[in-house]
Amino acid sequence: MGVERVQEIANFSKETIPEEFIRTTYEQPALTTVQGTVLEVPVIDLSDPDEEKVVRAIVDASSNWGMFQVVNHGIPHETVRKLKEVGKAFFELPPHEKEAYAKSPGSQSIEGYGTKLQREVEGKKAWVDHLFHKIWPPSEINYQFWPKNPPSYRKNNEEYAKHMHGVVNKLFRCLSLGLGLEGNEMKEAMGGDNMVYLLKINYYPQCPRPDLALGVPAHTDMSAITILVPNDVQGLQACKDDHWYDVEYIPNALIVHIGDQVEIVSNGKYKSVLHRAKVNKEKTRISWPVFVEPPSDLEVGPHPKLVNEANPPQFESKKYSQYCFCKLNKTPK
């Protein structure tokens, strides 16, 4: 198979973990987490008929936190439950079945089953395996990366994608209005109906030393926004005022991250959130983020209506594919 999966390493790691998974002291969760405090990030009711109130709440959360949770979002609980059910079932398949969806070495595509995502700083590894594939638009979907087992995987993912549009449109409308733009302008700046929904399943196996390892190290998302559902095992952490906090888990909520592209288009008014994932000693944690992204060849920069002499551009315009390449390879932007 060539690549050693974290799920397999976890099966043989009972008390210790391999050296390459032990983070530096300035990253270790036990040393860097504010203990006893759970970060209550803003919770926003998307069904509130008072749109101005919803816009104000999203603007405040996006400017000061870069993260919020939404409830009454319109995606049926059963649709979310089925998405989680088939994703979990895929990772419980025998290794050889999962490897059929593995990224080929040297592939330029992010899609597929894998372990390593980006250039690893100081040779450290993250305690996670993952599966990436696009779920929208149809022209971007490559079904070779969609598991055929469990048999309902495709149907359940397509159903989730269908319900995602309402949430995406509402969020972009509010983000747009909050900048003083027309309701459709933020979405249009990201590619309009050609925006890509990239699903990732993060599978964080039980870890005997959760005090030393990280599921995903500190990062901001490259996307425009990220819409995430977790299982019920807490693990998401956010950096607020240079301190790391656990993020409160709210059943049936969607967690929304402001990504780098929204920060760029807003010319810095909205902030992409610095976050990371912890692991758990007793339980496997799984999360399902959907990265809502511009098309790869779209040039993204500060919105022209937000730039003037008093507010010069804070970011240079760049094709999204180029932006991603620079960030994943840790090269100068």
Q: CA Rg, the chain, in Å?
A: 19
Amino acid at 31: L
DSSP code per residue over 265-324: HTTTSS-PPPEEE---SSS-EEEEEEEEE--TT-EE---GGG-SSSS--SS--EEHHHHH
**Length of the chain counted residue by residue:** 333
The DSSP 8-state label assigned to residue 122 in this structure reads: G
Mutual angle of helices 51-64 and 153-177, in 10-degree steps:
90
Tell me the one-letter amino acid at 270. Answer: Y
One-letter identity of residue 206 = Q
Active-site residue numbers? 200, 219, 221, 275
| CA–CA separation, 230 and 204 (whole Å) | 11
Q: Which residue has the tokens 């409308």?
A: 173
Closest CA to 9 of 98, 130, 129: 129
- Report how far residue 227's alpha carbon sits from residue 329's, in angstroms, rounded to the nearest whole number: 24
Task: In whole angstroms, give the CA distance from residue 97 to residue 153.
Answer: 14
Name the residue type at position 174. C
Which of 126, 93, 133, 129 lies closest to 111, judged by CA? 133
Neighbours of 200 (CB within 10 A): 18
**Cα-Cα end-to-end distance for the chain:** 34
